Amino acid sequence: MFSKRHYERATELLRLCNLSASPTGNPVQRVVYCFSEALRERIDKEMGTLPPKAGEEKPFDMEEVLLTPKPFIFVCSQSSSFFHVPQFAGIQAILDNLKSATRVHLIDIGIKSGSHWPILMQALPNQLEILKITAVGTSKEMVEEIGRRLSSFVAENMKFPFSFKAVVSEMKDLSNDLFELDASEAAAVYSEYRLGGMLASPNHLEAVLTLIKSINPCVMVVIDTEANTNTPIFVDCFNEALYLYAALFDVLEVCMRRDNQYRMTFEGLFIRKIIRNMITCEGEDRTCRNVRLQVWRDLFEKFGIKETKLSESSLYHANLMADKSAHGFCTLDMDGKGLIVKWKETPIIFASAWKFHNN
């Protein structure tokens, strides 16, 4: 419709959609509410009828959100075992590559809660000489609190020495010396929904990949969204976003009450803003972008980063978590060497492991 500039007809259709839209209704009503609102704003932009104050709103900064996650994001991500499926696959992939290591250095770029690290810690041998975790974030208070929780967990449950370092920095400002690397340590890099948040800034993304390559980790685990909204064709972007977030709204419907305040904040502030950014913004202003696993393969290949197959043990642990997911709606498929996590057959997340081939 936008290509034909049939704005009046589109406006009438949106009016009809709004009759069944509600931010507090069922998943369909909620997703219709978010998308119809975003489409209304896009039409107003195209027609030049957008209220002046609407254009003054601060652009949605996806990088900032991912580096300073909010409590409502944590609560919702912990609400269903569905969200833990790729984590278990990724943690096992790290363990598979640290079997003979006695000194381990884990680098978490864009740490959110750190809740996945105790899972790995409990699988490490007590004979470990040292475990170091370096966590990147922009909120000093948040990252240091995660460090205190992890240190307390190790003190109560583990016997090996533990060191935690908070790196408070924007991704574009990261440098090798911030990680205090030691050649005697086996390093592993973990990225959960972090690299995808940099797609709107290709130069920053390439700089981070160059940095990670210089670290030369034994493995890098990447968990991210399996969708292709990073396209200049509006209809394609719209359809991908609609399928993705309709499925995500349905996940939350199964595991949380409709009036749950964390869910309503997550949908109303976080997802709603992402949808708005995808639908109404173009160019550098469209900071919310996703690409499929195959696109990451093509990009990583330019940096000498090769995908390594997830082990049977990784898939076993992922399947255990999938079986716990509500009503069996979570299904798993392999895409080459990586894992695709689906909800009612809609791909939502991928988990993958990567090796570096340095000269």
Q: What confidence tier does 22 reach under pLDDT thresholds 50, 70, 90?
A: very high
> Amino acid letter at 78?
Q
Q: What confidence tier does 359 reach under pLDDT thresholds 50, 70, 90?
A: very low
The answer to whether the beta carbons of residues 234 and 205 sit under 8 Å apart is: no
Q: What confidence tier does 70 reach under pLDDT thresholds 50, 70, 90?
A: confident
Residues 89-121 pLDDT 10s: 999 999 999 988 999 999 999 898 899 999 999
Which pTM value belongs to this model?
A: 0.93
pLDDT value at residue 64? 66
Tell me how far apart the alpha carbons of residues 156 and 120 are, in angstroms, rounded to a whole number: 15
Higher pLDDT pick, 49 / 232: 232
The answer to whether the beta carbons of residues 96 and 89 sit under 8 Å apart is: no
Residues 145-155 pLDDT 10s: 999 999 999 99
Phi/psi of residue 267, nearest 5 degrees:
-75, -45
Higher pLDDT pick, 308 / 113: 308
The answer to whether the beta carbons of residues 67 and 139 sit under 8 Å apart is: yes
In the DSSP assignment, the letter for residue 256 is S
pLDDT value at residue 358? 63
Burial of 51 from C-beta contacts in 10 A (0-12 / 13-18 / 19+) = exposed
The answer to whether the beta carbons of residues 198 and 63 sit under 8 Å apart is: yes
Query: Which phi-psi region, left, alpha or beta, contains residue 328 (left: φ > 0; alpha: ψ -120 to 50)?
Result: left
- Mean pLDDT for the stretch of residues 178-200: 95
351 pairs with which residues across the strands? Answer: 223, 339
pLDDT value at residue 1? 44
CATH superfamily of 78-226+290-356: Vaccinia Virus protein VP39 (3.40.50.150)
Which among 245, 253, 248 is positioned nearest to 277, based on CA atoms?
Answer: 245
Higher pLDDT pick, 47 / 165: 165
Higher pLDDT pick, 193 / 48: 193
Tell me how far apart the alpha carbons of residues 196 and 225 are, in angstroms, rounded to a whole number: 8
pLDDT value at residue 51? 72
Tell me how far apart the alpha carbons of residues 258 and 26 are, in angstroms, rounded to a whole number: 8
pLDDT value at residue 55? 52
The answer to whether the beta carbons of residues 130 and 163 sit under 8 Å apart is: yes
Mean pLDDT (the chain) is 91
- Mean pLDDT for the stretch of residues 28-56: 85
| pLDDT > 70 in the chain, percent | 93
Whether residue 305 is predicted with pLDDT greater than 80 in this model: the reply is yes
Tell me how far apart the alpha carbons of residues 31 and 41 are, in angstroms, rounded to a whole number: 16
The answer to whether the beta carbons of residues 242 and 27 sit under 8 Å apart is: no
Domain residue ranges in the chain: 2-57+232-285, 78-226+290-356
Tell me how far apart the alpha carbons of residues 196 and 194 are, in angstroms, rounded to a whole number: 5
